[in-house]
Structure 1
Amino acid sequence: MSVDVVIAGGGPTGVMLACELRLAGARPVVLERLPEPTGLSKALGLGGRAVEILDHRGLLERFRAEQGALEMSIFRHFGGIPLDLRGLDDDDRGSAPRRFLSIHQARVEALLEERARELRVEIRRGHEVTGLEQDGEGATVVARGPEGETRLRARFVVGCDGGRSAVRKLAGIGFPGLPPSRLLRLADVVLPEDATEQGHLVLSGGRRVRFGLGGIAIVPLGAGVFRVVTSEPYPPDFDRGAPMTLDELQASVRQALGEDLPVREVRWLSRFTDASRQADRYRAGRVLLAGDAAHIHLPAGGPGLNTGLQDAVNLGWKLAAEIHGSAPPGLLDTYHAERHPEGQRVIMHTRAQGALMARDERVAALRQLLGELLKHEQSLRYVVDMLDAVDVRYDMRGEPGESHPLLGRWAPDLRLITGEGETRVAELMRRARGVLLDLTGSAALGDLAAPWDDRVDTVVARSAGPTRPAEAMLIRPDGYVAWVAGAGEPDGGAHRRLRRALTTWFGAPRGG
């Protein structure tokens, strides 16, 4: 069988990538090792840019309807230091207000799979990749499934199969980084009603421990269920393969609290570490990597899920263009060029957060100092923008000196008035195509872009707000601005740069 893309891994990154490819007219097949979803959730929410991605694809209301009743945003933190987001609103780039969805990873996976099946994505569960060969025309994947061995021929293969990625290993892609220095134990447990009171755990003798702080993190999940996370130095010769038990959890809790938790019921026990590694390249010929297959790190605040969705949306339209033959030279290589530095940045800040978890008087002093700094709006905004990945700026400069503040950034979600009524920039992105947004009311830009209208939609509108950040902008399918016309800029120079941007990101004009 021959398909356009084999995606190894049916988690959020793999399924989101499959959806992006289908929207762009490509044919992916997803191979997932597990026969059924586990229903378990490490990440408890989605924030920042990942939420805006869902909005761009028309999925945000579907996800909002699944939110838990608990407002999880109150537990935003940096290395366990609470972040008070109440004073942050829209920034001067006009981005959307701070967004956070308190939705467990298992529901994220289920909703994305629901969307994939609506788009008629083929998902094969119980298929484990065991072999991979590639040549100049494509790749052959060998998988072991319920009916024996299967061989699939594809134009490209994408490994979204986690930190122990078989695709990465079979492609010979290096995965350098740091081994674990800390062991973290995670448990979802039911506690007695009298064990908690007004945001605190009540211990023997009436001693109270605030949720989310100290050597142990305690987060209420609703219905009497609490997530408990402990952290300690990674023990030498530790057997990660041994099943975790309640006794092991309680021993770790005693180190932090001096006594056991009054656990009524255990829902889930797991372990993770602060090991951090990144693939040395995100592409090797016909093989690419995304999500945890490309980068692993301490899961502080769920950055793996958020980063993986951003990987998928950056890669999908580029890979589809390559398959359709419309990609300009080097387009697919910009996936590594853009996303590898962002993976490095996530590893940097999660390593910093891991260092803040050490139980040491010097670290305690550092935590106190950072806590004071994070009460100042400028410092808080910088850190939250980094955690939410809303500070991402890709290099879109087409010529020296081209430096409009919007260039290379996420397109602001402007409210717009068109001939068909009111809309938003996010609503223009539903089809996962390029968008040329003309806020001048002129037909000249549309005429210029007409030879690319099979790949780029031209929208003439005016801003519903009091000001407009630019005269016009070209937005890539992944939501980033690839060209901007500033106020008062001569038409000749702006039009020349627009032609270059259209050719750079969307290929030769039709008939060209």
Structure 2
Amino acid sequence: MGDGQVMRAGWVIGCDGTGSTTRKLAGVGFPGVKLSERFLLADLRLDWDLDRSGTSGWIHPTGMLGAMPMPDPVSGGDNLWRLIAYDPGHSDDKPGEQEILDRLRQILPERSGRQVRIGEAEWVSQFTIHRRLADRYRNGRIVLAGDAAHAHAPFGGQGMLTGVGDAENLGWKLALVVQGKANEALLDTYEAERRPLATEVLRGTANVTKVNIASSPIGRFIRDRVLVRLFNLAGIQRWTTYTTSQLWVSYRKGPLGGRGAKPRPGDRLSDRTVVRADGGTTRLHAELGGHWALLAPHAGANELETVARQRLGDRLGILRHQDEQTMLVRPDAHLAWRGSDTAGLERWLDGALERGQVSR
């Protein structure tokens, strides 16, 4: 530790950001490229006439500007804003707080077309956008997650969502291994399921970055005259929201996925009404929270429950639903298995927990 304290643990999860010391000490490569010059970030109290009902953005010949209203836990006021501004044409030296504020005083009225008075700064920073992906997510008992495993543009909250997804995927697998209920082979499925998604996210955010920082006449024309109008269409906005939400993520092609009727093993199950053992109704996602769920079409799924509980332990909820087949749902809300016979469930559990690979 930084204070000289020594800690010993069976596993180390590196969630220490793009400059991850854990990744470096584990000898894991982090190849990639730089995509942009510097962006400025700041949480500022602003006096201007901008509507706080949503996020606003401006495309300007000198660069993009975004403004997001933020809650103010200090004063309880309604004038705190998160700003992000592309600021090309400067050296790679990190600017100080005063330089960032001076630049924003120039950028805000220039790009927004509004008169604005900048008040107190809660926080300022800067960053450059890189596209990087770890060579591997695991080296023995060291596992990488979040920005330590993948670096990309922050547009659309993709870094946060991908990191949360990493944690949800890794958490239940590591728990079973630590508890002695699964072999370490199960942990190999973490990279197999999550790294392909990170590759897609890197590709998508890189394209968004290139559009936002376009400097050529053709690039600016496409961005300013074509894409701005296109993204004002309601259908495109709905598609963009769904895409950036990552609710579409599926692991059906991974080592724990499967074929058959939809939803298929590996697919994310949408939230739905289910019935608890006491007869009360609840929502599926509310019952997960680190637990498995066995969704049965009726109360007589005792044999399946016994098999699942023997292998997975007490963190298993038994719920009823309207589907004709029983479904075993992972703690990360993805479908593990569906069927009606105990032999099929046993085969899936044997493959997943012992070999990290199930038969299709």
Question: Which band: TM-score by shorter chain?
Answer: 0.7 to 0.9
Pairwise CA distance, 1:163: 1.0
Pairwise CA distance, 1:260: 8.0
Give the match's secondary structure for 1:501: helix
Other-structure match for 1:233: 88
Give the match's secondary structure for 1:347: helix
**Residue 405 in 1 paired to residue 249 in 2?**
no
After superposition, the Cα gap between the structure-2 partners of 1:418 and 1:224, relative to the gap in structure 1 and judged at 3 Å, is closer
Other-structure match for 2:358: none
Pairwise CA distance, 1:398: 7.8
2:336 to 460, 482, 492: 482
The aligned amino acid for 2:208 is Q
Other-structure match for 1:217: 66
After superposition, the Cα gap between the structure-2 partners of 1:342 and 1:455, relative to the gap in structure 1 and judged at 3 Å, is farther
1:258-407 equivalent positions in 2, closer than 5 A = 261-328=116-183, 330-360=185-215, 361-367=217-223, 368-371=225-228, 373-374=230-231, 379-395=236-252, 402-407=259-264
1:497 to 344, 347, 350: 344
Q: Which moved more, 1:242-251 or 1:404-413?
A: 242-251
Other-structure match for 2:305: 446
Structure 1 residue runs without a partner (length 5+) = 1-142, 201-209, 486-490
Pairwise CA distance, 1:423: 1.8
Larger RCO (alpha carbons 8 Å, 6+ apart) = 1
**Residue 437 in 1 paired to residue 282 in 2?**
no
Pairwise CA distance, 1:243: 4.7
The one-character-per-residue Cα deviations of 1:80-134 (angstroms, maximum 9, x if unpaired) are: xxxxxxxxxxxxxxxxxxxxxxxxxxxxxxxxxxxxxxxxxxxxxxxxxxxxxxx
**Residue 428 in 1 paired to residue 287 in 2?**
yes
Partners of 1:290 and 1:314 lie apart in 2 by 10
Other-structure match for 1:462: 321
Partners of 2:255 and 2:56 lie apart in 1 by 50
Partners of 2:345 and 2:113 lie apart in 1 by 65
Partners of 1:196 and 1:270 lie apart in 2 by 25
**Residue 196 in 1 paired to residue 196 in 2?**
no
Asked if 1 retains the 8 angstrom alpha-carbon contact of 2:183 and 2:354, the reply is yes
Pairwise CA distance, 1:393: 0.6
Asked if 2 retains the 8 angstrom alpha-carbon contact of 1:397 and 1:403, the reply is no
Asked if 2 retains the 8 angstrom alpha-carbon contact of 1:187 and 1:266, the reply is yes
Pairwise CA distance, 1:495: 4.1
Pairwise CA distance, 1:318: 1.3
Pairwise CA distance, 1:174: 0.5
Asked if 2 retains the 8 angstrom alpha-carbon contact of 1:221 and 1:227, the reply is yes
Percent pairwise identity = 32
**Residue 414 in 1 paired to residue 272 in 2?**
yes
The one-character-per-residue Cα deviations of 1:181-201 (angstroms, maximum 9, x if unpaired) are: 232112222233xx315579x
Give the match's secondary structure for 1:181: strand
Partners of 2:140 and 2:198 lie apart in 1 by 20
The aligned amino acid for 2:332 is D
Partners of 1:190 and 1:456 lie apart in 2 by 46
Asked if 1 retains the 8 angstrom alpha-carbon contact of 2:41 and 2:82, the reply is yes
Pairwise CA distance, 1:180: 4.0
State the TM-score, normalized to the length of structure 2.
0.82
Pairwise CA distance, 1:446: 2.8
Partners of 1:401 and 1:188 lie apart in 2 by 46
After superposition, the Cα gap between the structure-2 partners of 1:355 and 1:321, relative to the gap in structure 1 and judged at 3 Å, is same
Other-structure match for 2:74: none
Give the match's secondary structure for 2:30: coil
Pairwise CA distance, 1:374: 4.6
After superposition, the Cα gap between the structure-2 partners of 1:310 and 1:261, relative to the gap in structure 1 and judged at 3 Å, is same
Asked if 1 retains the 8 angstrom alpha-carbon contact of 2:67 and 2:83, the reply is yes
Aligned length: 338
Partners of 1:301 and 1:242 lie apart in 2 by 27
After superposition, the Cα gap between the structure-2 partners of 1:198 and 1:482, relative to the gap in structure 1 and judged at 3 Å, is closer
Pairwise CA distance, 1:402: 2.1
Asked if 2 retains the 8 angstrom alpha-carbon contact of 1:216 and 1:230, the reply is yes
The one-character-per-residue Cα deviations of 1:258-308 (angstroms, maximum 9, x if unpaired) are: 898432333322112221211111101111111111111111132222221
Partners of 1:404 and 1:382 lie apart in 2 by 25
The one-character-per-residue Cα deviations of 1:339-391 (angstroms, maximum 9, x if unpaired) are: 11122222122111111212544334433434555566765554333211111
Asked if 2 retains the 8 angstrom alpha-carbon contact of 1:176 and 1:279, the reply is yes
RMSD: 3.1
Pairwise CA distance, 1:400: 10
Asked if 1 retains the 8 angstrom alpha-carbon contact of 2:10 and 2:141, the reply is yes
1:165-204 equivalent positions in 2, closer than 5 A = 165-192=20-47, 195-196=48-49, 198=51
Asked if 1 retains the 8 angstrom alpha-carbon contact of 2:185 and 2:354, the reply is no
Partners of 2:315 and 2:46 lie apart in 1 by 55
Pairwise CA distance, 1:173: 0.7
1:240-255 equivalent positions in 2, closer than 5 A = 240=94, 242-243=96-97, 245=99, 246-253=101-108
Asked if 1 retains the 8 angstrom alpha-carbon contact of 2:133 and 2:149, the reply is yes
The aligned amino acid for 1:475 is V
Pairwise CA distance, 1:471: 1.9
State the TM-score, normalized to the length of structure 1.
0.59
Q: Which moved more, 1:371-380 or 1:475-484?
A: 371-380
Pairwise CA distance, 1:433: 3.0
After superposition, the Cα gap between the structure-2 partners of 1:345 and 1:216, relative to the gap in structure 1 and judged at 3 Å, is same
Partners of 1:376 and 1:259 lie apart in 2 by 25
Pairwise CA distance, 1:475: 0.9
Asked if 2 retains the 8 angstrom alpha-carbon contact of 1:404 and 1:484, the reply is no
